[in-house]
Amino acid sequence: MNYEIAKEPINVQSVIDKVVQRDAGAITTFIGTVRELTKGKKTLYLIYEAYEPMAVKKLEQIGTEIQERWNGAQVAITHRVGKLDITDIAVVIAVSTPHRNDAYEANRYAIERIKEIVPIWKKEHWEDGQEWIGNQLETVSYPTGKPEEKDLNE
Amino acid sequence: MNKILFFAHLRDEAGHESVEIDAAGKTVAELKELVAETYGVQKLDTSMTAINEEFSSNDEVIREGDTIAFIPPVSGG
């Protein structure tokens, strides 16, 4: 179970432990946390929601993509859902590879892909309201109904 | 019958997490029109669609028993 959606706080070490391997010279860990201020606006808390079975599949797909691109990589990703307070951990990505440069690059790739293809949404709650993030600015559209190759490489 | 799933703001707009519609034989684009009319859901044109948990295009034809999910632009991470 290297790819998980969690309803409880994430144990960072347990994610790291999944990618420990004798061939690794490096493990990089990305920890995504809930930020208080976005463009000067104060967030009180977030609600994350996932289409869970598909989200797990898409996390697995990201892991497969990484293993195709970076030789010898092992990947584990856990994303939390539910109500998260400021400083709480929303996502942990661990990547191990034989050499450190690959571990950094592959880990960066994973978080960018999560933001493109994994069906997880956050609802921001502020002092004066709440909003689902992702579509309101209408900066992203999918005229064909699914992500285009160009969307996936940005 | 087909199960249709709504997420995030689409669920708020539709007022349902999921509904049952007979959509077999329709394309995804046709289903989007029907759902927009029936449930007053806007912005389906800016949503992705998944059939049985895999992204699909607007011209894909829905089969009996397929589960269709409308996926607004995601904001995980």
The second-level CATH assignment, the architecture, of B2-71 is Roll (3.10)
B57 within 8 A of A148, measured Cβ to Cβ:
no
User: Which of B5, B55, B72 is facing A135, going by the closest CB pair?
Assistant: B72
User: Which of A114, A123, A136 is facing B77, going by the closest CB pair?
Assistant: A114
Helices (H), chain A: 12-17, 52-69, 100-117, 149-153
Instruction: Say what the pLDDT of residue A16 is.
Output: 98
Q: Mind listing the pLDDT tens digit for each residue in A80-111? A: 999 999 999 999 999 999 999 999 999 999 99
User: Which of B7, B12, B46 is facing A119, going by the closest CB pair?
Assistant: B7
Residue A50 tokens read as 């996932």
Contact A135 B9 (CB under 8 A): yes
* C-alpha torsion A89→A90→A96→A100, nearest 10: -70
Q: What percent of chain A has pLDDT over 90?
A: 81
The residues, ordered by sequence, that sit 6+ positions from B69 with a Cβ below 8 Å of its Cβ are A51, A54, A119, B4, B5, B6, B7, B49, B50, B53
CA A21/CA B9 separation, integer angstroms: 42
Q: Give me the phi and psi of A142, to 5 degrees please.
A: -130, 80
Q: How far is B63 from chain A (nearest CA, A)?
A: 17
pLDDT band of residue A138 (cuts 50, 70, 90) is very low
pLDDT band of residue B42 (cuts 50, 70, 90) is confident
Residue A16 located in a structural domain? yes
Residue A153 located in a structural domain? no
Q: How far is B23 from chain A (nearest CA, A)?
A: 17
Q: What angle, rounded to 10 degrees, do the helices at A52-69 and A100-117 form?
A: 150
CA A46/CA A103 separation, integer angstroms: 29
Q: Mind listing the pLDDT tens digit for each residue in B12-34? A: 999 999 999 999 999 999 999 99
Query: What is the domain-level CATH number for residue A8?
Result: 3.90.1170.40
Instruction: Say what the pLDDT of residue A128 is.
Output: 87
Residue A84 located in a structural domain? yes
Tokens 């942990």 correspond to A92
Contact A91 B76 (CB under 8 A): yes
Instruction: Say what the pLDDT of residue A154 is.
Output: 39
- Domain of residue A107, residue span: 3-132
Indicate whether A142 pLDDT > 70. no
Segment A30-56 shows an average pLDDT of: 96
Residue A142 located in a structural domain? no
Instruction: Say what the pLDDT of residue A145 is.
Output: 58
Q: How far is A49 from chain B (nearest CA, A)?
A: 7
CA A90/CA B66 separation, integer angstroms: 31
Looking at the 3D structure of chain A, how many domains does it have?
Answer: 1
Residue A146 located in a structural domain? no
Indicate whether A149 pLDDT > 90. no
Residue A152 located in a structural domain? no
Segment A108-127 shows an average pLDDT of: 96
Segment B56-63 shows an average pLDDT of: 97
